[in-house]
Structure 1
């Protein structure tokens, strides 16, 4: 059965609606960055760039790095954008745009997030690197999909119990990253732990400017969570969406975090650009 035009939306030139891409425009390895300006920080290391486009916050460069074709895409902020980017990338490689049908043979992408994050553990310092072994979804986006096959009920129930999670909020879903990619990128330079994905930067991550918080103690409850040695190490706004949708769609994903703030000590990096550049170099060397 063909997919309706209202569900798979194409531009007049045949490209996918939001990303403005055609299947031939991307490689099998995709790097996600949040900031549009960070795309060129990655691709300046490439041997060549053979494709560039931008629509809204979604900027894309595709090129070659050491004989490997890689695509770098800026996703913007939040899992709502990740929902767009991952579904449209999957459509590019797994749906025939002419017949509007799913391909018989499905393709798997390697998706690598290079992002910034704030640590909530004292022993994970500013300017370090952290790999998300798991991601915990606080924002509820994944509840739109059938997540039974990717969830971790025992770990989720332990988190809800230990943090006394508010039943009025979306139930947390915990998803593992790709073990294959994690093994490839881990080293003595990387910390590891559960990344918490919030649905905002201020209140949802426990920051107070003028508005009081619904649960002022939530961050301290989150950073004290421990289940068989697994703990929540950092806060950001995209990883759970990447891990959840990638796993549901059959792709491999890893989130690499440049720690530019420590929420427990109150420290912030004096040179976050340098830390991000080091993480970019580290990532490309291991791809």
Structure 2
């Protein structure tokens, strides 16, 4: 039995942060960062049955072509991903009446539709990119015991070698092979760098000085098994690592809105994001 202080429920029986009951979520869940983007996704549903939210966590659950789908805003960063992933897994795999694990554990399908910036000159603004692997430059997975596959271990060793000036150890995660084939088989793929912030952790300096001023240059030149670090964002590595740990399937589809190499930003970002939304919904 899980203690009340570990699995915290609200007065109505919903889980603490997401404010959801187990029956409120689908087995297929779309992640968006911006709460306002939830409605931009669910407007394409054939029907919407659930609209709930608290803080930055907004959920719409409905149907599309007779398939039940949820879309949830995670907010920004892997700290929020930690909350969302743990609470979704609890909704799927813990009996809230007995506060014990269910005998048959469920595997969720999680698809992130997010925005990102490229760090490779040949990755154009407007591209939809699938993250085959993600590298976490945040501290989230220092708190979890997670087994690594052999290729993840190999990638991690190469990161430690090529980013040898860091005072911390990045972690890695891999996309679901099932979803890479189903959702992203004809998309360009890359290694995504997940940062714990938008400014210094992504190499930006306004009035600050960066401890790692060569971070983007090092990431740009990184190579592993003919793969490059292609883009920067703030959630994917946490999603992959926790999904793999829990036994869920996850993939991140990145709408490239900026080029850090060319110092450019999309003129019509909303159109690129809408393209990504419609692409993913068509593949479900």
The bucket for the TM-score relative to the shorter chain is over 0.9
Name the CA distance, whole Å, in 1 between partners of 2:249 and 2:116: 21
Match of 2:280 in 1: 283
**DSSP 3-state at the match of 2:225:** coil
Partner of 2:45: 46
For residue 259 of structure 1, report the CA deviation from its aligned partner.
0.2
Q: 1:58 Cα shift?
A: 0.3
Deviations 1:80-118 (A, max 9, x none): 000000100000010000000000100110000000000
Match of 2:215 among 212, 218, 228: 218
Spell out, residue by residue over 1:170-208, the C-alpha distance to the aligned partner (whole angstroms, 9 max, x if none): x111111101101112254x2211101000000000011
In the alignment, is residue 260 of structure 1 matched against residue 257 of structure 2? yes
Check the 8 A contact 2:257/2:269 in 1, yes or no. yes
Distance 2:193 2:247 in 1: 22
Superposition pairs for residues 97-108 of structure 1, below 5 Å?
97-108=96-107
1:249 aligns with 2:246: yes
Helix, strand or coil for the counterpart of 1:53?
strand
* 1:131 and 2:130 correspond: yes
Give 3-state SS (helix, strand or coil) of 2:13's partner.
Answer: coil
Please list the CA deviations of residues 130-186 of structure 1 after superposition, one character each: whole Å capped at 9, or x if unmatched.
Answer: 0000010110101110123357222111122123231x22x1111111011011122
Query: What corresponds to 2:160 in structure 1?
Result: 160
TM score, norm. by length of structure 1: 0.97
Total equivalences in the alignment: 283
TM-score by length of 2: 0.98
Corresponding residue number in structure 2 for 1:9: 8
Q: 1:206 aligns with which of 186, 189, 203?
A: 203
Moved over 4 A (4+): none
Determine the structure 2 residue equivalent to 1:69: 68
Which deviates further from its counterpart, 140-149 or 83-92?
A: 140-149
Contact kept? 1:108, 1:251, Cα under 8 Å: yes
CA distance in 1 between partners of 2:203 and 2:249 (Å): 31
Unmatched tracts of structure 2, length 5 or more: none
Determine the C-alpha separation between the residues in 1 that align with 2:185 and 2:225. Answer: 22
Q: Match of 1:142?
A: 141
Cα distance in 1 for residues equivalent to 2:102 and 2:185: 37
Return the alpha-carbon distance in structure 2 between the equivalents of residues 157 and 232 of structure 1. 15
